[in-house]
Structure 1
Amino acid sequence: MQKVALVIREDFQVMSLAALSAFEFANRSAGEPLYDIHVLSEHGGPVASSLFASVHTEPFSNAVYDTILVAGAMDRSSTPAGVVAFLREVEPRARRVGALCVGAFALAEAGLLSGRRATVHWRRAAELRRDFPQITVDEDRIFIVDGKIWTSAGMTAALDLTLGMVEKDHGAALARSVAQSLVLYHRRAGGQSQHSQLVALNPTSNRVQQALDYARRNLRKDLRSEDLANAACLSPRQFSRVFRTETGTSPAKAIENLRLESARLLVEQGRHSLDNIATETGFGDRDRMRRAFLRAFGQSPQSLRSAVEPLEESLPV
C-alpha cells in the first residue's frame, strides 16, 4: 500500500482536498486499500482552510511517504520555513512530489523545481517565472511531469494530476473507473491546454451546448452548420443567430477552434502521424491543418512537435 500525504498550511485552498478523492475512490474501485492517505501540517492539529473550516492534520515526522503533495495557499506570503525544510528533507525519500496549483511556489522555494519544467495556475505563471527564472514555466498545461516532480494548474486541474498518478500506478482502466465515480465529464490528459475552447465559448443554453458537444465528438466528420442545428433541434437560420448571440462567433469558426485544440494536443503528444491527426480532427489533409496552425499559433504542427519533444525526454514512460 502506498502512503500519500497532502501538506497544508493556514489559509490553504480548500479545493486541494478534492485532489485526494482520486486516491480515495481508487481504493473503493479496486476493492482494496491501494493508498494510505494522510494530511500533514508543520505542527499538526486543526488547520484553517480558505473557507475558514478547519481540517485535522498530523504533524511532520520522519515517516516515509511514497507520494508527497503540497497544497497552495490563497494568500501571497512566502511558504513557512518549517514547510520548506520539510519538503527538502522528504523529497529524496519520496518516489514523487507534486504541487497542486500555487503549491508550486512552495516547491520552488525549497529548490525542488530548479532546472525543471513546471506549470501553475495561469494567473500566477508570470510571477513564478519572474521570481524563479531557473524554472521553465509552461502555463498552458493542465499538469506536467518532470522526473519525480509533478505540478498542476489551478483548481480542478489538481484532480487531473492525481488521476494521472492513479493511472501511472494502476493503469488506465482503474483511472477511468475513478473518473466515472467522480462524475467527471471529461478526464483531461496533462498536455491539454488550461484554456478550453468549450469554456471560452461559454454558451448559456443547453441547446447550443448540445451542438458543441456533438461537434467535439464528431470532429472527424465534415461538420456543417446544419449538422449542429439538428443537434440543437433548431432550424439552421435560428441556430446561427442563437449561436452567435451566445458565443460571439460563428459555428464554422467554433468548429475550427475545436479542431485546432484537439489537433494541438495530439501533435504535442507525438503518438500519431500528422496525416492521421489531420484526418482524425477533421482537417482532411495535412496542408489544410498546417495553414490553420499558422493562422492560430504562428507555427506549423511540425515546428510545434519539434519544440515539445526535447522537453518530454525527462518524462516517465
Structure 2
Amino acid sequence: MHRHVVFVVFPDALILDLSGPLAAFELSCESAPRDMAPYRLTVASIAGGLVRTSSGLEIMTRQIHEVDDVDTLVVVGGPGVHEAARQPQLVQWLSDNASRARRLCSVCTGAFVLASAGLLKQRKVVTHWGSCQLLQDSYPDVRVSPDAIYERDGSIWTSAGVTAGIDLALAMIEEDRGHFEAIRVAKRLVVFLKRAGGQAQFSVPLALQEADERGFESLHRWMQDHLDKDLRVEVLAGRVAMSPRTFARIYAARTGRTPAKVVEDMRLEAARRALEETRQSVKEIANRCGFLDEERMRRAFRRRLGIAPHDYRAKFGARGLDGGEAGQAHGR
C-alpha cells in the first residue's frame, strides 16, 4: 500500500530540511517495483511551481490544494519559516487538512508553522535548539522539549535541527516497515548511528564552542580528559591562574553556565555514551565518569534526563547488549 508523504515548503526553506528526510523515504522504496513502492512522495507549496530555497536552489512543487490522500504531512523549516507562519493560506490549509493525515510532522523550525496553525497546543514538541526558547515564548500552550532529537506526541512528530529530520524519517520508516528496514536505510544514507528520540540533539563540546573561542578551549579539553578527577571550582580556577571567585564570574559570563553545571553535563554525556556503546557496568561507568558511585549517577540521570541509567541503556544501548549480556552490563 502506498503511503503518501507530502513535504510542505515555502520561499527560503532550508534545502537539507527537505532533502534529508525525503531521501530516507526514497531509499525505502528502492527495492520495490514502482507500482508497489511503500511510499509516494510529493513536495508541495501554496502556489505550486518553482520555490526558491534559502540556498538559491529552486525546487519544483505541486500546489498544495491539489494534494489529496495524505498519510504523512511534513512541514520543513528554514530562514523563511516565520514569514510562512504568517501566510493565511498556508496556515488555514494546515488547520483544515491536518486531521486528514495519519501523521503531522515538522522538521527543525517547521514547528513554528504548525504552532501558528494551532496544531501543537498542549503537545510535547521540539525544534532546533537555538529556537526552542522562542517557540516556547511565542506559543506558551506548547510544551517544548529543548534537548530531544525528535518528539512524538500522538500523531504529532517534530524534530530538532536540520539533520535530525533524517532521524525523524527513520523513526517513521521503522514504525511503518520495521526495525531492520530502518537500519538498512540508515546504512544506505551512511548515517553513523540511528539516534533515538530521547537522545540529546547536540554535544557538550558543541554547546561550549563559543566559550572555547573566548579562551577556555584548553581547559575544556583537560576537563574532558580528567572527568574522574576533582573538578571543583578551586581546581579549575587554578588551571587558568584565576581566583575561584573571578573564575566563576568570568566563566559564567562567557558560557552562560556555572562551572559545576558544565562538569555535570560533561560527565552525563560521557556516561550516556558509555551506556550506549560499551558493556561496562553502571558502577564502572559511574567511577570512570567522576560520579564516585552508582547512586550519585542515578540521581543525576533522574534529575537531568528523567530516566535511570539502567533504563537508559535498555532504551538506547546497542542491541548486542540484550538478554543475559544486558543484565551483566547493567551490573545486576
* Alpha-carbon distance, 1:79 to partner: 3.5
Cα deviation for residue 92 of structure 1 reads 1.0
Judge conservation of contact 1:30–1:174 (CA < 8 Å) in 2: no
- After superposing the two structures, state which structure 1 stretch, 255-264 or 75-84, moved more: 255-264
C-alpha distance 282-124 of structure 1, shift in aligned 2 (>3 A): same
- Residue 35 of structure 1: which of 31, 34, 39 is its match? 39
Counterparts in 2 of 1:137 and 1:245: CA distance versus 1, 3 Å: closer
The count of residues paired between Structure 1 and Structure 2 equals: 254
Q: Which amino acid aligns with 2:112?
A: F
Asked if 1:16 is matched to 2:17, the reply is: yes
Q: Give me the whole-angstrom Cα distance separating, in 2, the residues matched to 1:30 and 1:52.
A: 33
**What corresponds to 1:207 in structure 2?**
none
Flag the 1:45–1:176 CA change in 2: closer, same or farther, 3 A. Answer: same
Supply the distance in 1 between the matched residues of 2:164 and 2:113 (Cα, whole angstroms): 18
- Paired residues of 1:201 and 1:247 also in contact (CA < 8 A): no
Q: Can you list the C-alpha shifts for 1:133-172, whole angstroms capped at 9, x where unaligned?
A: 0011011100000000000100110110011000010111
1:45 pairs with 2:49: yes
In the alignment, the residues of structure 2 paired with residue 96 and residue 20 of structure 1 have an alpha-carbon distance, to the nearest angstrom, of 15
Q: Does 1:261 align with 2:272?
A: yes
- Partner amino acid for 1:71? V
The alignment status of 1:305 with 2:316, answered yes or no, reads no
Please state how far the C-alpha of 1:263 moved relative to its aligned partner. Answer: 7.6
Say whether residues 1:139 and 2:140 are aligned partners. no
Q: CA deviation at 1:258?
A: 3.9
C-alpha RMSD of the superposition: 3.2
Structure-2 change in CA distance of 1:36 and 1:291 (3 Å):
same
CA contact (8 A) 2:186 2:194 kept: yes
Question: Given residue 3 of structure 1, which amino acid in structure 2 is its aligned partner?
Answer: H
Q: What amino acid does structure 2 have at the position aligned with 1:7?
A: V
Partner of 1:282: 285
Q: Does 1:161 align with 2:168?
A: yes
Measured in 2, the distance between the counterparts of 1:127 and 1:118 equals: 13
Residue in structure 2 matched with residue 54 of structure 1 by the alignment: 58
Within 2, Cα distance between the matches of 1:200 and 1:277? 28
CA distance in 2 between counterparts of 1:23 and 1:190 reads: 18
Q: State the 1:53 CA deviation.
A: 0.9
TM (normalized to structure 2)?
0.68
Q: Please tell me whether the aligned partners of residues 9 and 43 of structure 2 are also in contact (alpha carbons under 8 angstroms).
A: yes
The correspondence of residues 62-73 of structure 1 with structure 2, limited to 5 A, is 63-73=68-78
User: Which residue identity lines up with residue 96 of structure 2 in the other structure?
Assistant: E
Residue 213 of structure 2 corresponds to which residue in structure 1?
Answer: none
Kindly provide the amino acid, as one letter, of the partner of residue 2 in structure 1.
R
SS of the aligned residue for 2:92 comes to helix
Rounded to whole Å, the distance in 1 between the matches of 2:273 and 2:224 is 19
Alignment of 1:66-85 (within 5 A): 66-75=71-80, 76-77=82-83, 78-85=85-92
- The answer as to 2:5 corresponding to 1:4 is yes
Deviations along 1:176-208, one digit per CA (max 9) or x if unpaired, are 000000001111101101122575698xxxxxx
Report the CA distance between 1:81 and its aligned residue: 1.2
CA positional deviation for 1:252: 3.7
Cα offset, 1:25, TM superposition:
0.6
Given residue 272 of structure 2, which amino acid in structure 1 is its aligned partner? E
**2-structure distance, mates of 1:35, 1:19:** 12
| 1:64 positional shift | 1.7
Q: Does 1:114 align with 2:121?
A: yes
Answer whether contact 1:153 1:194 (CA < 8 A) is retained.
Answer: yes
Q: For residue 215 of structure 1, what is the aligned residue in structure 2?
A: none
Q: Which residue identity lines up with residue 253 of structure 1 in the other structure?
A: L
C-alpha distance in 1, partners of 2:158/2:96? 19
Q: How far did residue 89 of structure 1 move?
A: 1.8
Give the alignment of 1:186-265 within 5 angstroms.
186-197=193-204, 247-253=221-227, 256-262=267-273
Q: How far does the alpha carbon of each residue in 1:103-127 deviate from its partner, in whole angstroms, 9 at most, with x for none?
A: 0000000010001110011111111
Tell which deviates more after alignment, 76-85 or 173-182: 76-85
The structural deviation recorded for 1:82 is 1.1
Q: Partners of 2:189 and 2:38 in 1: how far apart?
A: 17
Aligned mates of 2:119, 2:102 — CA distance in 1: 14
Task: Determine the C-alpha separation between the residues in 1 that align with 2:67 and 2:269.
Answer: 49
TM-score normalized by structure 1?
Answer: 0.71
Task: Name the CA distance, whole Å, in 2 between partners of 1:253 and 1:162.
Answer: 35
RCO comparison, higher one (Cα < 8 Å, 6+): 1
Amino-acid identity (%) = 32
